[in-house]
Amino acid sequence: MIDCPTVFRKDSTWYMTYLVFNGKGYETWLAKSSDLLKWDKLGKVLPFTSKNRWDGNQAAGYPALIDTKWGGSYEIPKYLNHYWMSYFGGNTDGYERGTLSIGMAFTKKDVTTPHPWLRAKNPVMTTNDPDIGYWETKKLYKSSIIWDTTLQTGKPFVMFYNGVGDTSSKKSWVERIGIAVSDDMINWYRYPGNPIIDHGTGLSGDAVVQRWRDSLYIMFYYGAFWPEGREDAFNRFAVSKDLIHWTPWEGDDLIKPSQPYDIKYAHKPCVIKWNGVVYHFYCAVNELEQRGLAVSTSLDLGKSDLHFQKVTTKLKR
């Protein structure tokens, strides 16, 4: 199963990290593209490690510090002469089984070349931390980190992440989005007003933040099983002036199930604007629970040689 695209740019070429679940756990892979539509797989960047490590069987990675400007460069800067990637990990076999914590990986090497990134020995955030919130006591999931030079939170690094608290039943499985802040990318402190996105039921997660016209932030995220009675997954957005207080959009979904390949879930967004076109990447799940990556565009690319507006790109191992 293919999951969770993260797109960035370097030297006029586009790159994407994505997750592969092969029955054991998540590994993180890298692909490249010249046009954001046709993608070639390159190899692994967070492979399985020793079973003795806390993250031996799960390493779901998300490159950090990507340029947040809407329509900007989408490049990744170095911090302390390293590139950075946060990830959630665990050492239990199976799909998101067992304890899941957030770890940090880094490399001095070229981010466009597949190679195993180095990892901090211990997770940087866990469900046993002293500042843990009621809404995240069971599992921690996707993290997305921005470099905020305006210090809206008082710290330069801001992490958006989702977690789940009580998991006694499907009805009580509620995922919410919170933030944590850091001075050094290793020591993280939760915002005391968490969660910042809470729909009260179902799932809300996988936040990706972009900066629009310097004064407004846009958070793309997915929802599932809300409002009450809804059984699909879809992509939404919220806006903020300070990265802390967010107002969710109340209009139509940005992306929702509409095609055979995403008829069950159309979620987990990565949205960019390039040369006047918005590319909305997401995870598409069909009726058979098969997962692939898809992209929807704001202009009708069928006027080119594609012949259709919505293009699905499946990354096969």
Q: What angle do CA 169, 231, 37 make, to 5 degrees?
A: 120
Q: In 3D, which of 2, 17, 99 has the Cα closest to residue 64?
A: 17
Give residues with Cβ within 8 angstroms of 275, minimum separation 6. Answer: none
| pLDDT tens sequence across 38-63 | 999 999 999 999 888 999 999 999 99
Mean pLDDT over 86-100 rounds to 94
Mean pLDDT over 142-160 rounds to 97
Residue 99 has phi, psi (to 5 degrees) of -75, 130
Complete domains list, the chain, with CATH? 2-313 (2.115.10.20)
Q: In 3D, which of 154, 73, 135, 65 has the Cα closest to residue 104?
A: 65
Average pLDDT, the chain: 93
Banded pLDDT at 302 (limits 50, 70, 90): low
pTM listed for this prediction: 0.93
Query: 49 with 56: CB under 8 angstroms?
Result: yes
What the block records as the tokens of 245 is: 């207080």
Q: What angle do CA 190, 195, 200 make, to 5 degrees?
A: 160
Whether the pLDDT of residue 169 is over 80: the answer is no
